Amino acid sequence: MRGSRTAALLSGLTAVAAVALTACGVPPSGVIEAGAPASGMFSPRATPPSTPTTVSLFFLRDGELMPHPYQIDDAGDLEAVVHLLFEASAANEVPAATTELPRLTDAPRVAIADDGILSVQLPGETAPLSRRAMLQLTCTVNHAEADGGTASRSALSLNLHVLGDGWTMTESDHACPVVPRPRAQPEAPTPQEPSG
């Protein structure tokens, strides 16, 4: 008995749905040909492609800190900047320049605390850095941060904390050389209409 009630109920619902569709003006139709599938389309990216920017990586020349320009996708990604500095140092990519940064067994990690303090955690058994190596790292991060503008700090100067296995060092950016920013090209004057 229940089976016949269920069948009757389903039959009634089907009839109501058919009447509703007909009442809405939806005519019955067969298969509609729509042509070839779309081609040449691409899915939109979640983020727009980044334009490479130039950052200053600091190396030593005759014992003095010297900036060397390098291209990077995002100057505001301080971890990527620090990785690039250590990779370029290990590969001796800068002619006539030296480094006191050690070769690392793994990538360093960069963290920015809520109070704006920046820290670099070096991997494994890395020995404490020399003062020149600390300045290479501090000046590179300082200039990248100024160019990228990602980390907001209340202080005007940067104090970088570098941590190793059982040691911590802090260096200020006061000894960093000033790197002139490239000048923006002046806009061409707009022609003025003759007054008359």
CA distance 108 to 114: 20
Q: Which of 60, 55, 140 is nearest to 94 (CA)?
A: 60
Predicted confidence band at 185 (pLDDT cuts at 50, 70, 90)?
very low
- Under a CB-based contact definition with an 8 Å cutoff, are residues 144 and 75 in contact? yes
Percent of the chain topping pLDDT 70: 60
Q: Which residues are CB-contacts of 129 (< 8 A; sequence separation ≥ 6)?
A: 100, 101, 102, 137, 162, 169
pTM for the model stands at 0.64
Q: Residues 46-95: pLDDT tens digits?
A: 555 567 888 999 999 988 999 999 999 888 899 999 999 999 988 888 88
The pLDDT of residue 49: 57
